[in-house]
Amino acid sequence: MIKIYAYGEVPACEIFARDNISSNVEGVVTEIIQNVVKNGDAALLEYAKKFDRAELSSLEVTPEEIDEAFASVEPRFLEILREAAANIRAFHEKQVRQSFVINEQDGVVTGQKITPIERVGLYVPGGTAAYPSTVLMDSIPAKIAGCSTIVAVTPPNSEGKVNPVILAAAKIAGVDRIYKVGGAQAVAALAYGTETIPAVDKIVGPGNAYVAEAKKQVFGKVSIDMIAGPSEILVVADRTANPKFVAADLLSQAEHDRMASAVLVTDTKEMAEAVSAELERQIPLLSRSEIARVSIDNNGKIIVAENNLSLAIEIANEIAPEHLELCVDQPFDYLQKIRHAGSIFMGKYCPEALGDYFAGPNHTLPTGGTAKFSSPLSVDDFVKKSQFTYYTKDALRAVADKVAFFAQKEGLDAHAKSATVRFEE
Q: Any idea which residues carry the catalytic annotation?
A: 322-323
- Give the span between the Cα atoms of 412 and 189, in whole angstroms: 43
CB 397 within 8 A of CB 403: no
| Sign of the CA dihedral with 22 first, then 24, 30, and 34 last | negative
The kind and range of the H/E element at 121 are strand 119-123
- Give the span between the Cα atoms of 276 and 281, in whole angstroms: 9
- Sheet of strand 100-105: strand arrangement: 100-105, 108-116, 383-391
- Residue-wise DSSP of 139-162: HHHHHHHT-SEEEEEE---TTS--
Between the two ends of the chain, the Cα-to-Cα distance in Å is: 84
Helix ranges restricted to H, 113-239:
132-145, 164-173, 183-192, 209-218
Give the bridge partners for 219, in sequence order: 222
Burial class (CB in 10 A: 0-12, 13-18, 19+), 10: middle
